[in-house]
Chains A and B, each alone.
Chain A
Amino acid sequence: MAQVATMDHQFHVLAVDDSIIDRKLIERLLKTSSYQVTVVDSGSKALEYLGLSSDENEGVEIDHSHVREIGINLIITDYSMPGMTGYDLLRKIKGSSSLKDIPVIIMSSENVPSRINRCLEEGAEEFFLKPVQQSDMNRIKPHLMREKRQKVTPNSLKRKAMVECISPEKTRKYNNLCGIFWQNICE
């Protein structure tokens, strides 16, 4: 694939997990895939890092310029965490005008279809079943590349044409399914 010129700096991933073992694991996994990684142990720490107040009532954004500087390209979070769950975190992110376009991936040790659907409906790009493995890292890139789509290449033109024909909700589900397909085509 004619890689877009935006690959001159590393993608920065924010990982959120309350388990110290899983934090070490996801950090290593992401680093072997050449991502810059920041790891935090809770949803509220994640919001703090992202410059968003975790105040239930306000959802007030503290500092827009701070958010832009941090430059998080993707958030990957555990679902079951004490206090703020990964789902709660997802909702806060998608409800924030400055953060809603950051792709979010949910991880869980439990394969509960209703949980998975709920997360996808709320805007999560992918759902990873734990333990997360190296093969799962391949499923991250399509979501990053879509955000970085600046230079027009023949492949991105074709994809753009396809997704603009479909409604936003269907597009998200379509993208979810096609992530791997496009990755194979575009690589």
Chain B
Amino acid sequence: MESVNQLQRKLADYTSSLYNENFLDEQFIQLQQLADESNPDFVVEVVSLFFEDSDRLLNELTKALNQPNVDFKKVDAHVHQLKGSSSSIGALRVQKICIAFRNYCEQQIVEGCLKCLQQVKNEYTLVKNKLETLFKLEKQLVDAGGSLPVV
């Protein structure tokens, strides 16, 4: 059974790695600062919305790019949404792929778009796992009687 101190260290190290590896940026801290006693689960709530919305968008993108005649405007609209929502929660690596993705949409290059779709799916899966792990570590800490670090 890990002590509160050990759990705090674990959480701090894990959090640092997320920022160092650019999975998250400063915007995630902004989200954490919006949580308080009356809205303790704000971050989990927003991130859950992001997961649901991204699943939907990635499905739409897969469908749209598998059409015989690709509607690039439609594809771009979906990527724009994904870029926006990833930026809003601080999912930096996902956001960056979206920028490249939009360029391929503009140039109407299907192969480029398909490559970006695969990359964005990979990055999304990675950050999703990272965030789920982060929330798990936070819960472990709180359940052991510790308190979350002040941001």
Using CB atoms and an 8 Å cutoff, list the residues of chain A in contact with chain B. Answer: 19-22, 24-25, 28-29, 32, 80, 82, 109, 130-131, 133-134
A134, B85: Cβ atoms closer than 8 Å: no
Is residue B27 within 8 Å, beta carbon to beta carbon, of the partner chain? Answer: yes
Selected contact of B50 from candidates A21, A82, A130, CB within 8 Å? A21
Q: How far is the CA of A51 from the CA of B84 in the complex (A)?
A: 30
Could you tell me if B30 and A21 are in contact, using CB atoms closer than 8 angstroms? no
Q: Are A32 and B84 in contact (CB under 8 A)?
A: no
Q: Closest CB of chain A to B22's CB: distance in Å? A: 16
**Does B84 lie within 8 Å of A130, measured CB to CB?**
yes
CB < 8 Å A-B pair total: 49
Per the CB 8 Å criterion, the residue count for chain B at the interface is 22
Whether the pair B77, A82 counts as a contact (CB closer than 8 A) is yes
Are A21 and B34 closer than 8 Å at their CB atoms?
A: no
With A82-B77, A134-B33, A134-B34 as known contacts, state yes or no: A25 contacts B46, CB within 8 Å: yes
Partner of A19, one of B30, B34, B45, B85: B85
> Given A19-B88, A130-B87, A131-B88: A24 and B27 within 8 A (CB)?
no
A82 contacts across to B, CB distance below 8 A: 77
Complex CA–CA separation, A29 to B36 (angstroms): 12
Chain A, Cβ-Cβ closest to B56: A20
User: Which residues does chain A contribute within 8 Å of B132, judged by CB atoms?
Assistant: none
User: Cβ of B80: which chain A residues have Cβ within 8 Å of it?
Assistant: 80, 109
A160 to B60, CA, bound (A): 53
Name which residue of chain A comes closest to B42, CB basis.
A28
**Does A21 contact B53, Cβ atoms closer than 8 Å?**
yes
Shortest Cβ distance from B30 into A: residue = A133
B39–A28 CB distance below 8 A: yes
Q: A16 CB to closest chain B CB, in angstroms?
A: 15
A22 touches B39 (CB 8 A): no
Question: Which residue, A25, A82, A133, has most C-beta atoms of chain B within 10 A?
Answer: A25
Asked if B88 and A22 make an inter-chain contact with CB atoms under 8 angstroms apart, the answer reads yes
The one of A32, A80, A130 in contact with B88, judged by C-beta atoms closer than 8 angstroms, is A130
